Amino acid sequence: MVRVMGATRLTRITGEDSRNRTASRFGITATDLGILWDDGRGGVLVAFGDTYGEGWGGRGAGPKDADWRFNVIARSTSTDLDAGLDFDWVLPREDGAAGQFLPADRSAREHTVIPTSGIAVGGRNYLHYMSVRRWGMPGVWHTNYGALAHSDDGGRTWTKAPTAVWPNSGQRWWNRFRRRDAGGHPFQMIGFAGVIDGRVHLLGTPSGRFGSGYLARVRAEDLLEPAAYEYWTGSAWSSDVLGAEPVLSAPVAELSVQFNRHFGQWFAVHLDEHRAAIVLRTAPELTGPWTDGEVLVAGAQYPGLYGGFQHPWSVDGPAIHFTLTQWIPYNVDLFRADLA
């Protein structure tokens, strides 16, 4: 069993009081998430959610007129993670400030477009995102769909794939999942786990913060084809999402998954809304069995916390590094957790 010995806040990585001075340099006064993945080109891409500039309200997201961008993206090549995470670049718009890299869907009733996970496969970067239809009560929101975008130039330009869309509607599967997970379709938010025997594996959750975690896989060359995906039923793989059974018990939110070579275990880091904590769960296989999870960072110490995205280069030692957001001050910090 992997035990958490303690977690340390290393440094802030966004906001003007961060090591990157993102307000004056990139027009990022406040933002959240900080989703990390290896870009396959010697760097790490970092995707952020709703982002605000001059006029930010100072408490959480908003207001809308404070240079609101649905998402922004940066790149880092920092290797000494204990020293922090420096940005080599932030994808700019014409005026030099950070630009929105995933556009809005003008055909949908959509509030925002939020990245959830990324992976590099075969020289191409893939990003999963959710189209948020509306926000509900705290920890609850409703999506139009989850979908994939891709980049062939290291993250500088992105294309939304028209085929790779998982709608959060349809009576057939809704009757199957609504009794268990009120957020609906079980792959509205995902955590890419990696490539095993030529197949990309990922864990998905419904929209919101109270659903279970489900496992899927697909051949790397078919990532943009929903019909090619297979889902874990608890005993076998099925092409029917209706057969999917949870591998991670609820509540799972903002999921980050990767294999830790030092411990020889799969690590899942996520927000546990019931415990108000970022937790670490481990398993010998992606199919489980997964532990109930040990607390990495508690909300009692860091109120309003969420996220918890592992750094992809933090897998070879007795510690992991991960990003974490607090609703106030609505910026992203880098943490280290020591494990045994």
| pLDDT confidence band for 242 (50 / 70 / 90) | confident
Model confidence pLDDT, tens digit, residues 94-144: 999 999 999 999 999 999 999 999 999 999 999 999 999 999 999 999 999
Report yes or no on 165 lying in a domain: yes
Report yes or no on 72 lying in a domain: no
- pLDDT for residue 261: 98
Model confidence pLDDT, tens digit, residues 246-292: 999 999 999 999 999 999 999 999 999 999 999 999 999 999 999 99
Report yes or no on 68 lying in a domain: no
Model confidence pLDDT, tens digit, residues 279-332: 999 999 999 999 999 999 999 999 999 999 999 999 999 999 999 999 999 999
Provide the β-strand partners of residue 143: 132
- pLDDT for residue 227: 97
Range of the domain at 256: 106-331
Report yes or no on 287 lying in a domain: yes
Report yes or no on 80 lying in a domain: no
* Residue 125, amino acid: N
Model confidence pLDDT, tens digit, residues 199-233: 999 999 999 999 999 999 999 999 999 999 999 99
User: CATH no. for residue 228?
Assistant: 2.120.10.10
| Mean of all residue pLDDT scores within the chain | 95
Report yes or no on 42 lying in a domain: no
pTM: 0.96
Report yes or no on 70 lying in a domain: no
Which tokens is 10 given? 């290393």
DSSP 276-322: TEEEEEEESSTTSPPP--EEEEETTTSTTEEEEEE-TT--SSSEEEE
Domain count, the chain: 1
Q: How far apart are CA 179 and CA 57, in angstroms?
A: 38
Report yes or no on 325 lying in a domain: yes
Helix (H) / strand (E) element for 130: namely strand 124-135
